[in-house]
Chain A
Amino acid sequence: MASPEFSRTKKRQKWVVSIILIIICILWTIPTLGVFVTSFRERDEVSRSGWWTAGSNISTMTLENYQQVLGGKPFSYVTAEGVKVTERSDNMLGAFLNSLTVTIPSVVIPILIAAFAAYGFAWLDFPGRKVLFVAIVAILVVPLQISLIPILRDYQKIGLNGTFLGIWLAHTGFGLPLATYLLFNYISTIPRSTLESAFIDGASHFTTFTLLVLPLSVPALASFAIFQFIWVWNDLLVAMVFMSGSGEKFQVMTQRLLNMIGTRGQDWHLLTAGAFVSLVLPLVTFFSLQRYFVRGLMAGSVKG
């Protein structure tokens, strides 16, 4: 039995642990909070006082920054010297759509190809099966930088540079090793008897795969999907290399945001709104699918 003294020290320990954790959480949240608050403040307010004072002046909060950033409409302001300036704002909405156009196929295509391959490696017999899979494990960590120049040259030769197809295929290529590996770990653990009963009923591999294995693998598919979604949506390097030939019309969110950092480094009211627009979708995806995230990633390492 625990003595009262023992439980008192235990209680004190609990308090210390809670306080340390709360401090860490506050530290981790402050940077995002600052940007969030600033994105609703007026231009002059932002440069006149720190965002932490915004609470005292809540009536000046505005949605105008978001209108400007998304709509790309002209806006004007008066500078400190009293000169009225009219500028055309950045059209983030277009970049948002471009990011969607790049991201969704870049997530679905590798999943489809990898699922087929994972099934092939797990359930079909063919010469070179093991060697090929070992090769996939080996290129799991090859840095994608190594592919940029060779692939860019191929793209320039066949006219894929600056097209959506080109960037989809690139993301597919770079995502495939991980996708195949994760899905193989999952699909290979489906009990043999489940599949064999399907084969006895005369189902082909293709039918078994599409009607039985794919639905069974949803947790693994989701865990890779969320990984790939965040990776592609947040990617800057691949977009800069392979979408650069297409001009501003096809810029994705990260490129547009980077441009904004360059051209309006001090327009914090717009930059912060832009940053927030860019991180809404991955945040939503992330938190709606996060239970799959851990499970899928652990599938390989725990059993191993």
Chain B
Amino acid sequence: MFENALKEGQLNPLQKTLIGILRAVVAVFIPLTAFAGLYGGFVFLRDSGAPQLIITAVAIVWGVGGVAALYLIGNYLIHLLPVDWGKKLTPFLFIGPAITILTWYLFLPTFRSFYLSFFGKFSRDFVGLKNYIYVFTDRTMLTAFRNNLYWLVFGTGLCVLIGLLIALLADRVKFEKIAKSLVFLPMAISFVGAGVIWKFMYSYKPEGTVQIGLLNAVSTALGGDPVAWLTIRPGNTFFLIAILVWLQTGFAMVILSAAIKQVPSSLLEAARIDGAKEFRIVFQIIIPYIKSTLVTVSTTILLLTLKVFDIVFAMTNGLFGTEVLASQQYKQMFKFLHYGRGSAISIIILIAVTPVIWYNLRQFGKREVF
């Protein structure tokens, strides 16, 4: 009787509720089991004194295999159900875990941070807008705002401009691949690793001793005095920005170069036959053609500079007036343990990216993929 009703697609309200409950159970069940299974193995991994190589191997197999196993278990369970029920539950097996994790890790925290930003040091007493007032009046914070503005404007601007220049130049030479690889290489280097590399470049020894940092060696060889690059303000912020440019120009270059290659060659040839100079071709044909890619690259790097934390942390630890928003936020949260202020700063960073969210949504709305 039950199956007949299902076959004919007639569901009474009770059955509908049951389906609803089951759907919810599947969506909750998968991440929960994953958690229980992995945690059980994990207690072993955390507390065992096995050699590290074994721990590494076990952990990788455990972590990767565990998640895969959960999907298989979920699929098996769905197969146990009547066909119609299975059909309704399948989407939740597919998207349930992703939605659960995103809700826990990104969606809810946005509201929780917003809530916390109105509370004091240990999130116990309500302080109203005090944290925000602090953020906009404290001297270090104001320096951080100013520096972040430098990072956004000069960091992003230089990455995109130099990336575009290299992409355009590399398009016209035979050693394009090698040139692009060399500029691209720093992309794979961590900010901390880059910190070591550039600390070495900026290394400073007092006058009269041998300079082992290249920049000071050049500066003294030209007859100047050695410069303590990282302590002179506000120049030091720009020396830190140089590191970002060194790291991220490759990213801009590669994406822009791929876009330039898609400019129809007939268009370029027609312009050349008409006698247009290369400069005009670049500014009137190529750049308008790759405009949307330019916007994408700029926003990506803009978002990165807004979150930049490691460079400052590794190079100066925020001393000598090099503080930025992200490093201030880290310090407030984990050094001064002032959760309210830390949250307020992260909300400010979120507000700063809302135009990008809005832009993304608008672009997405235009695509009609659904």
Question: Interface residues, chain A, CB within 8 Å of chain B?
Answer: 13-14, 17-18, 20-22, 24-25, 28-32, 34-35, 38, 46-52, 94, 97-98, 100-101, 104-105, 108-109, 112-114, 116-117, 119-121, 124-126, 129-130, 132-151, 154, 163-165, 168-170, 172-174, 176-177, 180, 188, 204-206, 209, 230, 233-237, 240-241, 244, 246, 253-254, 257-258, 261, 265, 268, 271-272, 274-275, 278-279, 282-283, 285-287, 290, 293-294, 297-298, 301-304
Beta-carbon contact of B102 and A176 below 8 Å: yes
User: Which residues on the B side are within 8 Å of A236 (C-beta)?
Assistant: 190-192, 309-310, 313-314
Beta-carbon contact of A143 and B353 below 8 Å: yes
Beta-carbon contact of A130 and B370 below 8 Å: yes
Interface residues of B in 166-181 (CB under 8 A from A): 166, 169-170, 172-173, 175, 178-179, 181
Question: Interface residues, chain B, CB within 8 Å of chain A?
Answer: 38-39, 42, 45-46, 52-53, 55-56, 59-60, 63-64, 67-68, 71, 75, 79, 90-95, 97-99, 101-102, 104-110, 112-113, 116, 162, 166, 169-170, 172-173, 175, 178-179, 181-193, 195-201, 203, 210-214, 217, 246, 249, 254-255, 258-259, 262, 278, 292-293, 296, 303, 306-307, 309-310, 313-314, 326, 329-330, 333-334, 339, 342-343, 345-347, 349-350, 353, 356-357, 360-361, 363-364, 366-367, 369-370
Scoring B90, B105, B173, B357 by chain A CB atoms within 10 A of each residue's CB, the highest score goes to B105
Partner of B94, one of A31, A120, A261: A120
User: Which residues on the A side are within 8 Å of B105 (C-beta)?
Assistant: 147, 151, 169-170, 172-174, 176
Nearest B residue to A295, CB-CB:
B258
Nearest B residue to A120, CB-CB:
B94
Partner of B210, one of A28, A49, A130: A49
Beta-carbon contact of B201 and A126 below 8 Å: no
Beta-carbon contact of A21 and B179 below 8 Å: yes
**Chain B nearest CB: distance from A257 CB in Å?**
5
Nearest A residue to B250, CB-CB:
A28
Beta-carbon contact of B201 and A31 below 8 Å: yes
Beta-carbon contact of A163 and B63 below 8 Å: no
Partner of B214, one of A52, A100, A134, A304: A52
**Chain B nearest CB: distance from A134 CB in Å?**
7
What are 28 A-B pairs at a CB distance below 8 A? A17-B169, A50-B213, A97-B55, A100-B56, A105-B60, A117-B95, A124-B90, A125-B91, A130-B370, A145-B326, A146-B110, A146-B349, A148-B333, A149-B109, A150-B108, A174-B106, A176-B105, A204-B79, A205-B90, A206-B75, A234-B189, A236-B190, A236-B191, A236-B313, A279-B190, A282-B190, A301-B293, A304-B366
Bound complex: CA of A257 vs CA of B313, how far in Å? 12
Q: Given the interface contacts A50-B210, A151-B109, A174-B105, does A116 sit within 8 Å of B46 by beta carbon?
A: no
Beta-carbon contact of B113 and A150 below 8 Å: yes
User: Which residues on the A side are within 8 Å of B255 (C-beta)?
Assistant: 294, 297-298, 301
Scoring B166, B190, B217 by chain A CB atoms within 10 A of each residue's CB, the highest score goes to B190
Q: Given the interface contacts A126-B92, A279-B189, does A25 sit within 8 Å of B182 by beta carbon?
A: yes
Bound complex: CA of A38 vs CA of B292, how far in Å? 42
**Chain A nearest CB: distance from B323 CB in Å?**
15
Bound complex: CA of A134 vs CA of B367, how far in Å? 12
Q: Given the interface contacts A109-B63, A173-B102, does A138 sit within 8 Å of B360 by beta carbon?
A: yes
**Chain A nearest CB: distance from B86 CB in Å?**
8
Main secondary structure on A side of the interface with B? helix
User: Which residues on the A side are within 8 Å of B189 (C-beta)?
Assistant: 32, 234, 279, 282-283
Partner of A165, one of B42, B109, B175, B214: B42
Beta-carbon contact of A134 and B364 below 8 Å: yes
User: Which residues on the A side are within 8 Å of B249 (C-beta)?
Assistant: 28
Partner of A13, one of B258, B278, B330, B364: B278
User: Which residues on the A side are within 8 Å of B179 (C-beta)?
Assistant: 21-22, 24-25
Beta-carbon contact of A112 and B71 below 8 Å: yes
Beta-carbon contact of A97 and B52 below 8 Å: yes
Partner of B101, one of A176, A241, A258, A271: A176
Partner of B113, one of A116, A146, A205, A285: A146
Beta-carbon contact of B369 and A188 below 8 Å: yes
Bound complex: CA of A21 vs CA of B175, how far in Å? 10
Nearest A residue to B104, CB-CB:
A173
Main secondary structure on B side of the interface with A? helix
**Chain B nearest CB: distance from A286 CB in Å?**
4
Beta-carbon contact of B91 and A278 below 8 Å: no
Nearest A residue to B369, CB-CB:
A188
User: Which residues on the A side are within 8 Å of B196 (C-beta)?
Assistant: 35, 257, 261, 271-272, 274-275
Beta-carbon contact of A275 and B197 below 8 Å: yes
Bound complex: CA of A198 vs CA of B62, how far in Å? 32
Beta-carbon contact of B214 and A172 below 8 Å: no
**Chain A nearest CB: distance from B189 CB in Å?**
5
Given A301-B255, A302-B259; 4 other pairs, CB 8 A cutoff? A32-B185, A142-B106, A165-B39, A301-B292
Nearest A residue to B23, CB-CB:
A126
Nearest A residue to B209, CB-CB:
A47
Beta-carbon contact of B45 and A164 below 8 Å: yes
Beta-carbon contact of B63 and A28 below 8 Å: no
User: Which residues on the A side are within 8 Å of B106 (C-beta)?
Assistant: 139, 142, 144, 146-147, 173-174, 177
User: Which residues on the A side are within 8 Å of B370 (C-beta)?
Assistant: 129-130, 133
Partner of A101, one of B56, B293, B307: B56
Beta-carbon contact of A145 and B197 below 8 Å: no
Q: Given the interface contacts A49-B212, A101-B60, does A34 sit within 8 Å of B201 by beta carbon?
A: yes
Beta-carbon contact of B98 and A117 below 8 Å: yes
Bound complex: CA of A104 vs CA of B357, how far in Å? 30
